[in-house]
Structure 1
């Protein structure tokens, strides 16, 4: 904006500064000029407006101090007294009043009308707006050029810093990850993430060491995905600074949207590739082409991993009435009841392999995150890398997630088996007691290996042939035969312990076991029949954990 000093410097206006006012007042921005002859112009006067008057209000004023006081209380930038033929000099009383109140006072020559001062103010304002527009366009071009050249979020902040070095900024996403800009510690990043999760998000976030910092929301494909943090309180930023940071926040949003779109495309191709690998009818040449697109040699050594959040109820699969996807009659599975893998976990796994500089296909499924990655050879021990992944995803000890590792093989023909092995291993590890949940398929028990080597359709047919009659009877009669046989096997065939766990009499338990034998033709007192029942119940879990199609589909 223009200033009193700039108006005085314009010789065509013939302005003379009589009182400079408070220190620095002549160099402060002036909002506009206001012509008035009211004794009290304060109801109509905006802050930092310059008052123009001929002094006609003197007729009703007790003193000039009264008029000056009204201007001062309204926050006026100063007073311009316009000389007239009747008043060829500025009244000494007005000069004294302005000097006493520290209000700037200027004198305008008789030959210069107030309209000339208004015109000068309008020209100065228009020039200022033109300069601001030019700077905005120039900065917009620089920001667009940075984004188009792949400068990313850091490039946006670099452009902002060149134009406004006094503004210290940073970008933090909704997961509390520092993306670019001024260094923030983990606690400060968490504060930003908490602010983004609030509804509505606050204008400021308070840091312990730095105090309040302004929050500018950055949206991508929906919602506030990140925040551009200016390490200055919002109320300490002037309108121009806020406009500049808001402009930068829009380009950060654009960069986030571009990144998310690229990730969405990659995720789609990853999911399609995983589906192709899992299918027995897919041409291996198509799988090989897709692997090459991810930078993986399809003829080299390959392996597969599966990652999932560890189950907090480790004993769920051994309880009398387990709550897992396969523990209900096939076909009654509600897709919404299956835990959905958070997208944050998929992003975190993908970011891990980027940091490790390892090409990988990462895709999220209903219960786990599947990964296909290259290996150095048949004896390549990837356990160390898997433990690093578990540590980075968990609580620092690697106990928060389960990572199942498939076998290492050469060529795309081995990937399908490795993927099945990894998912079976991950499923088992999820339900183990707290501890390090990273293991290879080969390290599991023999029955896990046996089930992991079968395809889901085969497992379903076997399980339904054995358990199907029991489930139909439970559905029709409201009985608890499946829960009974599970409890009996979990208690190693001990009658008294099983009856106590089920809260029934031993004779009731014997009647139930007899009914189970009648329905499925398996006698739990015979070892081979007991093995059939045990494997069938575990096969239900394994088959549904692999492709989640539900058990009644046969």
Structure 2
């Protein structure tokens, strides 16, 4: 992309029209897989069929047939009703999103350079032959100077890596108007200029999507109320927008040119940032995968060091599951990431299948953290399991298993959503730690075997009913409410339990063993599901 910007600078600084055309035609093969690249100007001699196809294209360009090649496209050198010409490129296959973005940017650079060249030539001709039009000449010189200033200033911002703040400042300096940079969803990312709103206005998602679609369809900046909006969409994917705040409608051709150039530079910057973010996310995922799998401690430490992350502090593995009012895995991941950052609980967060894993390097109020995730989501559900402390890197797999068990045991027990530490699981923690599951299974069969057999053959829920009743201390009202059944239905089921199992629920020893057996039964269900 920097090479493309430098090419634009070469075009603008001294190249005549023929050199500009040759530079553009020669640069295209280095930007995309193509076997044909030609700048076609109005009046050029060439194949009549190609000229006819170009004449029928709209201001955004479109597909054309290039002899001997499968795919061809013509980009206007300037997206106006009467473009200066077209960059026609043909290739053996459809261009990728990145190739399309680079070729479109090349066409824009070429059009700007040709327009500048013609303004410059016009200025020279006018100075030599039309002394009487001095005012017009001064306007032409000013237009040429302004165009060169826009190009030079924004190219310098891109090369120096000033980021979104620098782009906003440059466009404000060039236009004198308030400039905002927004993400795809309308959230403010940077501002330059006066009158910054204390609360930045944001449209509803449906309205925002309609605006983006309309601007993309027109392929040029559009006025939207008191704003003029241009999209930053490298590779065809809208990543953000740059906005002129222009309530007095002062923006003219020069301001729109600055806005359009700013959008191109912003697209390059956002594409760069996204590429870095994706690389960091992959590195984070690799670190977490290696830690939780316990495969390579040395590699995990090296990768974490590359991220600037200290793994040798005490940590806990935290597993979070849930969703917002609308199921969106990325939105849920971002909600956990923001909540963990703000509490703070940790910064190493990754998505793994249907769960989000956080490596927590502090000891926050875990229930408070879970509720913070729900606030970020704007409602929905969230459950959280917290493993025991990891004092060394080799402890992460154990803490991860514990966090998943702490997450799933409450679900199996049908408890309300909450944050559960493995340390607080009580008897469940002891049951999970027993290596010989056969002993647990024999204990469950001794106390619940007849009821389990009855449930299997009849499709009933006597064991579940008994578990709810025991968990609620024998309270009929709470048990019926938790099972969503009538009190009489509950009494009937308990009577059947006494008859089938041959137990006396009034005997404290029987009560204790049945309670332990139902918890062991639930523990076995979770352990079997996690294998």
Which category of TM-score, normalised to the shorter sequence, fits these structures?
Answer: 0.5 to 0.7
- Post-superposition offset of 1:363: 0.5
Report the counterpart of residue 141 of structure 1 in structure 2.
Answer: 155
Distance 1:177 1:387, change over 3 A: farther
Report the counterpart of residue 173 of structure 2 in structure 1.
Answer: 162
Contact 1:307/1:369 (<8 A) preserved: yes
Report the counterpart of residue 358 of structure 2 in structure 1.
Answer: 371
Report the counterpart of residue 410 of structure 1 in structure 2.
Answer: 391
- Post-superposition offset of 1:275: 2.8
CA distance in 2, matches of 1:391, 1:495: 34
One of 277, 287, 294 as aligned partner of 1:263:
277
What are the equivalent positions in structure 2 for 1:63-212 lying under 5 Å apart?
A: 134-146=148-160, 149=161, 151-164=162-175, 166-174=176-184, 177-182=187-192, 184=196, 187-191=199-203, 195-198=207-210, 212=226
One of 420, 426, 443 as aligned partner of 1:446:
426
CA distance in 2, matches of 1:472, 1:136: 81
Distance 1:293 1:480, change over 3 A: same
CA distance in 2, matches of 1:205, 1:426: 48
CA distance in 2, matches of 1:411, 1:133: 60
* More displaced stretch, 237-246 vs 474-483: 474-483
CA distance in 1, matches of 2:263, 2:513: 68
- Post-superposition offset of 1:145: 0.8
Contact 2:370/2:382 (<8 A) preserved: no
CA distance in 1, matches of 2:477, 2:360: 50
Distance 1:402 1:512, change over 3 A: closer
CA distance in 2, matches of 1:405, 1:439: 6
Report the counterpart of residue 284 of structure 1 in structure 2.
Answer: 297
Distance 1:454 1:277, change over 3 A: farther
Report the counterpart of residue 115 of structure 2 in structure 1.
Answer: none
Q: Whose relative contact order is higher, 1 or 2, with alpha carbons under 8 Å and at least 6 apart?
A: 1
One of 415, 419, 441 as aligned partner of 2:400:
419
- Post-superposition offset of 1:156: 1.4
CA distance in 1, matches of 2:188, 2:373: 16
Contact 1:172/1:189 (<8 A) preserved: no
Give the RMSD, CA atoms, in angstroms. Answer: 5.5
Higher helix share: 2
- Post-superposition offset of 1:155: 1.8
| Stretches of structure 1 lacking an aligned partner (at least 5 in a row) | 1-115, 207-211, 313-338, 376-381, 518-523, 545-550
One of 209, 219, 226 as aligned partner of 2:240:
226
Distance 1:454 1:156, change over 3 A: farther
Deviations 1:225-257 (A, max 9, x none): 433232115965323322321321232233223
| Stretches of structure 2 lacking an aligned partner (at least 5 in a row) | 1-128, 215-221, 503-508
- Kindly tell me the number of residue pairs found equivalent between the two proteins: 377
What are the equivalent positions in structure 2 for 1:204-353 lying under 5 Å apart?
A: 212-219=226-233, 223-233=237-247, 236-279=250-293, 282-307=295-320, 342-347=329-334, 349-350=336-337
Instruction: Say which SS state the counterpart of residue 408 (structure 1) adopts.
Output: strand
CA distance in 2, matches of 1:213, 1:221: 25
Report the counterpart of residue 522 of structure 2 in structure 1.
Answer: 537
CA distance in 1, matches of 2:521, 2:255: 68
CA distance in 1, matches of 2:204, 2:145: 34
- Post-superposition offset of 1:364: 1.9
Distance 1:144 1:497, change over 3 A: closer
CA distance in 1, matches of 2:270, 2:299: 32
> Radius of gyration: which is bigger?
1
Instruction: Say which SS state the counterpart of residue 170 (structure 1) adopts.
Output: strand
Distance 1:353 1:311, change over 3 A: closer
CA distance in 2, matches of 1:418, 1:447: 18
Report the counterpart of residue 17 of structure 1 in structure 2.
Answer: none
